[in-house]
Amino acid sequence: MNQKRYFGTDGIRGLVGQAPMTEEWVYRLGRAVGQVIPLQAKPILIGQDTRESSDALVNAVASGLASQGHSIILGGVMPTPAVAFLCRQQNFALGVVVSASHNPYHDNGIKFFGSDGFKLSDEAENAIEIAIDDHTAISMSTQSGRILSEHGVVDTYVQHAVRTFFAPQALAGLELVLDCAHGATYQVAPAVFEALGATVYPLHVNPDGRNINADCGATHLSALQQAVKEYGVPLGIAFDGDGDRLMMVDAAGEIVDGDELLWILATHQLAQHQALPGVVGTLMSNLGLVEALSKCNIPFYRANVGDRYVLESLQQKQWFLGGESSGHLLHLHYSSTGDGLISALLILQAILRAQKPLSELKKGMYKYPQVMINVRYEGAKLNLKEAAVQNAVLAVEQNLGTQGRVLLRASGTEPLIRVMVEAKEEALAKTQSQFLADRIQAILAAR
């Protein structure tokens, strides 16, 4: 399949004010999508996060879609997984999310979900890219679609989250800190946990358009760690800017990452005497997770990094549980995409049923020290298969021997080379990751 020009592993993303994240380009995108998606009576739902650029980009993509005759419902600020859920539950023709997820405010992006709640296929994305570039292929509809605002549409998702796992007031007596990253969950998540009776200490729930993900949320956990210890609560929960990631903190302020959360979900499944045919992780998944699952006779498969690839592997294998170290967790019995809120409720269900704290549930998995360094680049991507790069990787692998592993990859959403080294000893992982990062920087500088 040809390399896509615009779509990455999680929709289209970029710096606001530069193509493809300009109002003009996003309008073209809307027209192209409106041409590719068959016109039908069902409307298209558009949700967004809290970035200052999101309103304008929502208007642009909505206008483009409406120019092709589609009717649009503007749902306002809501988590990405809420859009995916509502596509299935309320039978929207298409779901659109304007968000750059965990990226800083000056980036934005757009992703699409089909009426089944899953992200669009490669074939659909390729057809959209062709339509974007072929202006002659798009004609104006004889009648523009209507654009309506219905911000209450997200309430259906809130009710779903509240009712799926617990009886009313099931979390009464539980205290927790909730870090919403000044993002799309800032209203929804507190509403869900409070409706279940929990005492919520909200953190980063005052978006100003620019503070989304800024030193907070699932990608910056230090404030949550401190708050958990200060309030003396048993756990803290963190989402990223669009709500598809989950990270947690235990009572001691220790981070519980996506691998450990996936381990808890897997063992909870077994504790309920429910079948678990296997678990999908990624190339980044910790060796400790693989070893722990193996001891439970649970097959494990490594997909490429990106929840899109985790989902594809789950569907191919007809499994239902998978995720990433970063906190994208997929449980296909409950959600068609990564859903931080639903995943958090599943973890709380495991805690209550086991009558054990979060710190105890994660103990069955020993997490190998893993160090990752991001090396930023400009211009074209570095060819990671070129001899100089491979020689640097080989040198590190020889230094590690059988005590660890190396992973070098280009980010699918940012101009970064991710250097990861995993070893039984943290000091070894640190020195070897820094050595490899320095070599990569030198190779980039010599281009």
Q: What are the tens digits of pLDDT across the range 215-226?
A: 999 999 999 999
Q: 438 pLDDT exceeds 90?
A: yes
In this prediction, residue 165 has a pLDDT band, given cuts at 50, 70 and 90, of confident
Half-sphere exposure of residue 102: CA atoms within 13 angstroms, side-chain side: 22
Average pLDDT over residues 35-40: 91
Q: Determine contact, residues 328/244, Cβ cutoff 8 Å.
A: yes
Q: Would you list the DSSP string of 12-42?
A: EEEETTSTTSSHHHHHHHHHHHHHHSPP-SS
The fold of the 370-445 domain, in CATH, is TATA-Binding Protein (3.30.310)
Tell me, rounded to whole angstroms, the distance of Cα 374 from its chain centroid. 18
* Architecture of the domain defined by 156-255: 3-Layer(aba) Sandwich (3.40)
Q: Determine contact, residues 286/367, Cβ cutoff 8 Å.
A: yes
Tokens matching residue 83: 């859009």
Q: The domain 12-149 belongs to what CATH superfamily?
A: Alpha-D-Glucose-1,6-Bisphosphate, subunit A, domain 3 (3.40.120.10)
Residues 6+ apart with CB under 8 A from 118: 84, 311, 336, 337
d(CA 60, CA 31): 10
Q: Determine contact, residues 421/404, Cβ cutoff 8 Å.
A: yes
Q: 403 pLDDT exceeds 80?
A: no
Average pLDDT over residues 263-278: 96
Q: Would you list the DSSP string of 221-259?
A: -HHHHHHHHHHT-SEEEEE-TTS--EEEEETTS-EE-HH
d(CA 174, CA 71): 43
Q: Would you list the DSSP string of 251-279?
A: TTS-EE-HHHHHHHHHHHHHHTT-----E
Percent with pLDDT over 70 in the chain: 98
Q: 442 pLDDT exceeds 80?
A: yes
In this prediction, residue 2 has a pLDDT band, given cuts at 50, 70 and 90, of low
Average pLDDT over residues 19-47: 95
Q: Determine contact, residues 308/10, Cβ cutoff 8 Å.
A: yes
* Average pLDDT score, the chain: 94
**Does 20 sit behind a cis peptide bond, omega within 30 degrees of 0 on the bond before it?**
yes
Q: 402 pLDDT exceeds 80?
A: no
**What pLDDT does 305 receive?**
86
**What pLDDT does 138 receive?**
66
Q: State which amino acid sits at residue 180.
A: C
182: left (phi over 0), alpha (psi -120 to 50) or beta: left
d(CA 384, CA 381): 9
Beta strands 329-331 and 300-303: pairing type?
A: unpaired
Q: Which residues are catalytic?
A: 101
Give this prediction's pTM.
0.90
Q: 406 pLDDT exceeds 60?
A: yes
In this prediction, residue 1 has a pLDDT band, given cuts at 50, 70 and 90, of very low
Q: 26 pLDDT exceeds 90?
A: yes
d(CA 154, CA 192): 12
In this prediction, residue 136 has a pLDDT band, given cuts at 50, 70 and 90, of low
User: pLDDT (tens digit, 9 = 90+) per residue, 324-343?
Assistant: 999 999 999 999 999 999 99
Beta strands 404-410 and 416-423: pairing type?
A: antiparallel
- H helix count then E strand count, the chain: 14, 18
**What pLDDT does 141 receive?**
65
Could you tell me the end-to-end alpha-carbon distance of the chain, in angstroms, rounded to an integer?
28
Q: Determine contact, residues 409/375, Cβ cutoff 8 Å.
A: no
Q: 380 pLDDT exceeds 50?
A: yes
Average pLDDT over residues 113-131: 95
Q: What is the DSSP letter of 381?
A: P
Instruction: List the alpha helices (DSSP H) in 8-154.
Output: 23-36, 54-66, 80-89, 122-133
243: left (phi over 0), alpha (psi -120 to 50) or beta: left
List, in sequence order, every residue forming a beta bridge with 420; answer none if it has no partner.
372, 407
Residue in 410, 411, 412, 414 with CA at minimum distance from that of residue 389: 410
CATH 3.30.310.50 domain position(s) in the chain: 370-445
**Under DSSP, is residue 201 helix (H, G, I), strand (E, B) or coil?**
strand
Residue 210 CB-density burial (10 A; 0-12 exposed, 13-18 middle, 19+ buried): middle
Tokens matching residue 349: 């269900």
**What pLDDT does 142 receive?**
66
Q: 41 pLDDT exceeds 50?
A: yes
Q: The domain 256-341 belongs to what CATH superfamily?
A: Alpha-D-Glucose-1,6-Bisphosphate, subunit A, domain 3 (3.40.120.10)
Question: When comparing pLDDT for 344 and 414, which is higher?
Answer: 344
d(CA 202, CA 222): 15
User: pLDDT (tens digit, 9 = 90+) per residue, 232-263?
Assistant: 999 999 999 999 999 999 999 999 999 999 99
CATH 3.40.120.10 domain position(s) in the chain: 12-149, 156-255, 256-341
In this prediction, residue 137 has a pLDDT band, given cuts at 50, 70 and 90, of low
User: pLDDT (tens digit, 9 = 90+) per residue, 60-91?
Assistant: 999 999 999 999 999 999 999 999 999 999 98
